[in-house]
Amino acid sequence: MFKKFKVYALALFLVAFLAACGNSGQDASPKKDSGDQKQEQAFPLTKKDAAGNEITLKKKPTKIISLMPSNTEILFALGLDKEVAGVTTNDTYPEAATKKEKVGDMNVNVEKIISMQPDLVLAQGSSMGMSGEAYKQLGDAGVPVFVVEEAKSFDQVYDTIETVGELTGKEKEASNIVDDMKQDVKDVKDKASSIKKEDRKKVWVEVSGPPEIYTTGKGTFMDEMLSTIGADNVAGDQEGWVKLSEEKAVQLNPDAIITTYGAYTKGAVEQLLSRPAWKNVTAVKDKAVTDVDGDLVTRPGPRLAEGLKEIAKAVYPDVYK
């Protein structure tokens, strides 16, 4: 899993313009502000992406290709099932996404995408290094490719969802999703405030098991999640995705352990509990080891708040009932 791994100016102008028109005319009746009207006003739309390119969409996209699972999840959450024409082989959620046309994995099938004639391709900043040239080829062929900024925090995920909503004429839906996520995060924070400093747990997050053990440090969703639920990341002094020796990991002596690879490693929890070198680790002695769906806690999309709640229940089951 480890290896696989926001124009409001136009809207504001239109609002001001409509208001001015209303004030200058004799008709002072209220103006409708329906979702459909908002979509019609949004296009044509020009917006700069994470690669610094200005992408222009002449009309609301009706054939969209997503090159990243998180973007796919956002599109489906926005109700764009019919508009999604293609995804990658890494797209596993929702189930409907698995039935869409495949346009490659981490390696993009440029020819196939061009042949499908999409009016929007959603790419991801995190894959620029590997697929940057493919994105350029698509752009040169006249395919609108919008590179979404790589999100590393909840706030950045909110921005991403709102950006995709703007690009697809689904601003209201995007706003609702973000509001729901913010409420979920607030609920968790409210409960976290009841945890006394002396009761805060030290947590080890294992995103990859032996022979190469990886955990998460600062600048990751998992680190932010642990802080949000009122816990401490034992690898919080590290940065990003961190490879540690088993000896070093054991020395950190966490009170709770979260694994995120159980979906593809059978018996992940049992294997960790049975490691000889870990027998004196507090979390192992207390059997405080839980596996959570890695996609919930690493994909920068609508389900991230759900992942937060899963982490909270795993670390503090009595607090987050």
For 96-123, what is each residue's pLDDT tens digit? 999 999 999 888 999 999 999 999 999 9
pLDDT over threshold 70, residue 54: yes
Of the ranges 134-138, 169-173, 270-274, 315-319, which one carries the lowest mean pLDDT score? 134-138
Asked if residue 234 lies in contact with residue 252, where contact means CB atoms within 8 angstroms, the answer is yes
Alpha-carbon distances of 228 from 102, 105, 224, 238, rounded to whole Å = 37, 33, 6, 18
More confident residue, 23 or 308: 308
More confident residue, 130 or 17: 130
pLDDT over threshold 50, residue 39: no
Question: Measured at the alpha carbon of residue 232, what is the angle toward residues 228 and 233, in degrees to the nearest 5?
Answer: 105
Give 129's pLDDT tier (boundaries 50, 70, 90): low
Asked if residue 157 lies in contact with residue 281, where contact means CB atoms within 8 angstroms, the answer is no
Asked if residue 61 lies in contact with residue 121, where contact means CB atoms within 8 angstroms, the answer is no
What value does the mean pLDDT take over residues 295-308?
A: 96
pLDDT of residue 20: 36
Q: What is the pTM (predicted TM-score) of this model? A: 0.85
Of the ranges 81-85, 128-132, 138-142, 286-290, which one carries the lowest mean pLDDT score? 128-132
Of the ranges 131-135, 140-144, 193-197, which one carries the lowest mean pLDDT score? 131-135
Q: What is the mean pLDDT of the chain?
A: 88
More confident residue, 278 or 36: 278
pLDDT, tens digit, 9 for 90 and up, residues 234-279: 999 999 999 999 999 999 999 999 999 999 899 999 999 999 999 9
Q: 141 in helix, strand or coil?
A: coil
pLDDT of residue 102: 97
Tokens of 110: 């440029």
pLDDT of residue 12: 34
